[in-house]
Structure formats: C-alpha cells, structure tokens
Amino acid sequence: MDTDSTSFDHTVDVLVVGSGAGAMTAALRAHDEGGRTLLIEKSDRYGGSSAMSSCLLWIPNNHLMAGVGVPDTEEEAWSYLKGTTAGSSSDDGLRAFMEKGPEALRYLDEKTHAEFVSLPEYSDYYPRVEGSKPGGRSVEPEHFDARQLGDDFLSMRDQNPQMQVMGRVGMTAVEARMTMTGQPGGMMLFAKLCLKYAFDLRWRFRSPRDRNPSGGNALIGMLRLSLMDREIPLWLEAPARELIVEDGRVTGVVAERNGRTIRIGATRGVILGAGGFEGNQAMREKYLPKPTRKEWSCGNPENTGDVIEMGQKIGAGVDLMDDAWWGPTTVVPGEDLARFLVIEKSLPRSILVNKAGSRFTNEAAPYIDIVNAMYEKDSPGSPCVPAYFVFDATYRKNYMCGPLLQGSAQPDWMVRKLFKQGYIKKANTLEELAGQLGVDADGLKDSVARNNEYARTGKDPEFQRGETIYDRYYGDAKVEPNPCIGPIDTAPFYAIEAFPGELGTKGGLTVDGRARVLTESGDVIPGLYAIGNCAASVMGRSYPGAGATIGPATTFGYVAASDAMGA
C-alpha cells in the first residue's frame, strides 16, 4: 500500500487500467460525462482478450431484439438470470446488469462507432430455464473497415487463429456457423471473404492481418476509433504496479512508462479492467481445479492477475477464484493459443470419450458444462483429462475441425504435418485408433455402437444430445432425425485430444452493483472499481448465453464510469 501524498506525475479524473472492450467503454463513458480520461495497457498491444474473441455481447431485453421479432421483458430476464446463476451471484449485481445492460448497449450503438447485429437464432444456453429466449439476447459486431485506424491497427492484439479462416480471414459468428455446419451458401460466402482479403493487395505487402475484421478485432477497432475521435490517450507498455491509497481512498496508481516509475493520479476513480489470471501458471495452480495448464487457455497470455493481487494488497476481497469461462480446447503444434471447440463438438458423426473409451457428457451442451463434466467425472479409473474427440471420414470430409478445413477442401495430404506431429490420429479401425490414443478399445467400440443406434432413433437416452434448441444451433440441419447425432461408421477414423481450457478466468475482486471494489468484510473501497475478468463475475458459476463475458464487461465499464463521474 502506498500512502505517500507527494505530487503526481500525471493527473486525470478517471484512470482505466486495461484496454479491452469493458475498459474502452469505461473510458468513453467517463469522457462523455466530462472527465479527463486515460487508459494504460501493460503490453505493446491493445484490446486484451476482447480483441482475440468473437466479442459477442449477451444483453437481455436489449433495444435490438424488437427489430428481429423477439420480445423480452425485465421479468423474463430476471427469472432466467436467477435460474441460471442459482444463488452463485448477488441480487445487487444481477439487477444492475439487467437494468444497465440495455442502457450501455444503446450508448455504444448510438454514441460510438460500434455497430451491432442481433442474433435471433442464437438461443440462450439453457432453454429449459424459465425466462429463456430462442435468440436475440446475443448481439455481435458488424465487420469493421480497419483502414480507418491506419497504422494503429497493427498495435491491436491479434485474434485467436480459430476466429479466422486459415488464421487470416475474419468471419462473424453467423458466417462461421454457415461455413462450418455446411449450410447452403456457406462455401460461396467463404470464397467471397477470401477474395476480399486477397484483393487488399497493397496491405498484403505490409501485413497478413485482415482489414475487414470481425468479432473482437471489429469491436475493438470501432471502440479504438471512438477513443481517437475524442483524443482519449491510450498508453501502451505502461504496466500498473501498485495502487495509491490516501486516507482510505484509492487516488491513483504507480505505473511504469518509458523505463521509469510514474505516479498517475485519478481524482474521480481508478477502474481496473485488465483481465483475469489465465496466463499465470502459479495462480492457476493455486486456485483452479487440477490439472490445469495455461497452454490450454484461449485467453490473453498477458493476463497474469496483476491487478487482482494489487487489490488484495489493499484489503480487497476475492470470489470465484476456482472458476473460469470453461470450454474444451485443442492445442495445435506451433500455435501460441489453444483453440476453443465450440461448433465441432455439436456436429454429427462425432463423440467425446474418456480414457475408458466412454462418453461422459452431452457433447452439444454449453461448453462450460463440458469442462465441468471433465473435472467432475475425472478419476484414476476413467481419466477425463484429456478427453478424446473422435469422428469418422464423413465428418472429416464435410466439416471443419480445429485448424483443419473440410476434407473436401483440404484433404489429409495437405495437412500431413499435423499427422506427423501427432496432433491428429488416424486409423482404419476403431481398435487401431484406440491403440494410438491409449484408450480402452472395447469401451470405444461400445460407445460408437451406442451412438450409431442413437443416430438411427434420434434419441440419446444417456445424455440427451441434440434435444434443445441450443444443442441444435451448431448441428447439421440436413441430418435427420437428430442434427447432432450421426453414425460413426466410415473409415478411416480420426481423433484429437480435448483439454479443460477456458476463454479466461472468472474469479476476481468482489464488487457491488456499482462495480465498486469491496473489502473482505464487504465495505466499499472508495475510488476503486473493477470490471471484466479481474472482478468476480456477476454471472456467478453460470454461463447464460453467448457473450455473457463481454456483455457484463461493457455494462459495468459503463456503470463504473458513470458512478465515478456522478452520472
């Protein structure tokens, strides 16, 4: 704790630590309420995990829902939030999110360069919970013309390779679904995006990055352009090191810039929006279920829990530190980040098995449930970490999987290096495949036989795969009677390992409904706010829908800035 009241090197009204979507929203809102605002980012790239992600926002009762014919009410939103969080989150935080989320989204839509499209067919993750909606609560950014940023675009954090075709061409969530699930027009769309990328000839000599980005690079680009319009400074390579506390109030931050230590004062408040601790193996070992590896994460490797520990040093409480935004991941040799298995696991002609060769969950369920099942059912007799994603030749021909395009577009000989590296296994029989994986052969054959029977009947009595509207969202609508289940009967057979990964950690500093950081005893720490993954998630141990990470991050960025400025 720093209690020295000597003068500051730089003073603003609101200091924002971090540069993701929530942090940028906070800076924009504080500025628009009359505040002098500064963002500081410890790395040499801005955008955080937001820039790397699909950057969907889950906002119940938002203003775009009426336009796509999906009505919503606060009462329905409240029922669904209470049902999914099941007591793992405070009513104060949930009510603030429910009430301020639509306001924050409208602010971004009307007062910044951000442009969103509603996803009327992207169901909430738990359709059986009272108050759920078949779509509309998730919104995603449109494509963004990154030429507007000039060279500053090159300082934005790259997207995860899985968010782009061949690690290059940006696709929205809607476009990815069309392409990866074999929908009509999907390949035409794919070709169109690739041609647009290829014909940006002058830029190709400068960078492989797509200047027609989607997802996180699109939204961060829109928000960055909004910051530039307002001349709000963003300092890169300026890590925060310590919170300055004077007379019980946080009044600034000790940071580093250009090789020297500086003191930055914040007369109205410090807003921490610098992510979780997924990139810190020591913190993972201390808090998360085991086994755990930072290499299994899709989050920003620069997120090492610095601001969480800074808050703890001045008495802030923490919560949900053993939890994360879980999802099964695949680790591709030569890539710095794991890839999230979202669409692949819902498609027919595939199953996920443990070391005993047995299925242990509904593969098409929300990805958080997959990893919770991996940890809950992991045992010495039937290890589930790692698990094995098994599919057949027809799957390989028709669908993308991890870094692999459909076999019809990218046959095995074109990716033989991945086979040689052992990333993907291939065999002419299930027994041979089981041997390569070290999986029980009888167990695998039995699981496949059961799956094939379920494909015939359309019913999965074990795990109910494909029974909900969410399950079927990423299924193949051409497959009947169940778009998520198909026979695994065409040799050769394939498999990749699946790990308990995440988009980022979920635990962090405890906050109230105004995003104010609380002490371990529940008292407010004046002048200090936390948002995004450095705050304990308002969603508790749940994951209500697509965008339930960045929806609350932007909402509470807006809330924190409004509170700091007295708006």
Is 80 exceeded by the pLDDT of residue 170? Answer: no
pLDDT at residue number 217: 94
What does the pLDDT look like over 53-88, one tens digit per residue? 989 999 999 999 999 999 999 999 999 999 999 999
Residues 294/279, Cβ–Cβ less than 8 Å: yes
pLDDT at residue number 188: 80
> Is the domain 327-502 a CATH 3.65.10.10 member?
no
What does the pLDDT look like over 268-282, one tens digit per residue? 999 999 999 999 999
- Per-chain mean pLDDT for the chain: 94
Q: How far apart are CA 397 and CA 410, in angstroms?
A: 9
What does the pLDDT look like over 344-372, one tens digit per residue? 999 999 999 999 999 999 999 999 999 99
Q: What one-character-per-residue DSSP string does 311-333 give?
A: HHHTTB-EE-TT-EEEEEEE--T
pLDDT at residue number 191: 78
Is 80 exceeded by the pLDDT of residue 434? Answer: yes
Residues 501/399, Cβ–Cβ less than 8 Å: no
What pTM did the predictor assign? 0.94
What does the pLDDT look like over 9-34, one tens digit per residue? 999 999 999 999 999 999 999 999 99
pLDDT at residue number 186: 74
The mean pLDDT value for 289-297 works out to 97
Three-class secondary structure of residue 308 per DSSP: helix
Three-class secondary structure of residue 396 per DSSP: helix
CATH class of 10-19+233-325+505-539+547-564: alpha beta
Q: How confident is the model at residue 439 (pLDDT cuts 50, 70, 90)?
A: very high
What does the pLDDT look like over 216-234, one tens digit per residue? 999 999 999 999 999 999 9
Is 60 exceeded by the pLDDT of residue 151? Answer: yes
pLDDT at residue number 183: 73
Is 70 exceeded by the pLDDT of residue 1? Answer: no
Residue 401's identity, in one-letter code, is C
The mean pLDDT value for 192-202 works out to 78
Is 90 exceeded by the pLDDT of residue 196? Answer: no
Q: How confident is the model at residue 6 (pLDDT cuts 50, 70, 90)?
A: low
pLDDT at residue number 193: 77
Residues 353/444, Cβ–Cβ less than 8 Å: yes
- Tell me, yes or no, if the two domains 10-19+233-325+505-539+547-564 and 327-502 fold the same way: no
Residues ≥6 apart with Cβ < 8 Å to 475: 181, 346, 347, 348, 364, 466, 482, 483, 484
The mean pLDDT value for 503-530 works out to 98
Taking the domains of the chain in order of start, what are their residue ranges? 10-19+233-325+505-539+547-564, 327-502
Three-class secondary structure of residue 92 per DSSP: helix
